[in-house]
Copies of this chain bind each other. A is one copy, B any other.
């Protein structure tokens, strides 16, 4: 594995949910603390998985024009309300629903992330490229101490990944050709779409994203330039 495909890369953009932050572990931790404090029992691992599972179908409906553009934070609140009904959870006031929905703005990074990003930032412009909204990205960065140079989101383009405009839009807003921009992600479909639009790609393995129940495929692909177990080993491969 050499890094010569990255020689002319000026900027790295990162998928966030799963790649940078442990959304599942963070929702479960915050949820258990909430349940204990309020005496309201909720199956948080199941809640986290089901909440996340509503994300893609909602974005697909927006992409097909079945529902109007809605930012992540707002449709995530609707998903929460549906789940509260389905789970038959009683005793939650509006204030509680606000608090629960804000869990997604206080997600914790994987252990290698802060140091790895600081190393990568020495050579590259670093930014987010998330389907989450801008304010969610800003609040996570403040919570977790993530040293982004710039925050890009589906909200900038009113399109969700893997639509082409998101990848091309990030390159355009950074003033670079697509092949001078790389996407770092733990999800192969995201990297496949990035490459289809001319970006360079780096896969980072996050085997614990879905807990212990779901296996991830960390093998090489023709559309992946670099594979690394974490951000620090990515920095190592890039000679930083």
Contacts and interface: CB of A to CB of B under 8 A. Distances in A.
The copy count of this chain in the complex is: 2
Nearest to A176: B135
Nearest to A134: B173
Nearest to A122: B142
Contact of A142 (B125, B142, B173): B125
A45 to B, nearest CB: 29
A142 B176 CA distance: 17
A168 to B, nearest CB: 15
A195 interface: no
A175 B142 contact: no
A174 interface: yes
Contacts of A142: 125, 149
Nearest to A173: B134
A141 interface: yes
A71 interface: yes
Contacts of A133: 175
A155 interface: yes
Contact of A149 (B71, B141, B173): B141
Classify the interface of chain A: helix, strand, loop or mixed.
helix
A10 to B, nearest CB: 9
Nearest to A142: B149
Interface in A149-204: 149-151, 155-156, 173-176
A71 B175 contact: yes
A73 interface: yes
A150 B174 contact: no
A63 to B, nearest CB: 20
A235 interface: no
A138 interface: yes
Contacts of A156: 156, 173
Nearest to A174: B135
A150 B149 contact: no
A73 B125 contact: no
25 contacts: A71-B175, A73-B175, A125-B138, A125-B142, A133-B175, A134-B150, A134-B173, A134-B174, A134-B175, A135-B173, A135-B174, A135-B175, A135-B176, A138-B149, A138-B150, A138-B174, A141-B149, A142-B149, A149-B151, A150-B150, A150-B151, A151-B151, A155-B173, A156-B156, A156-B173
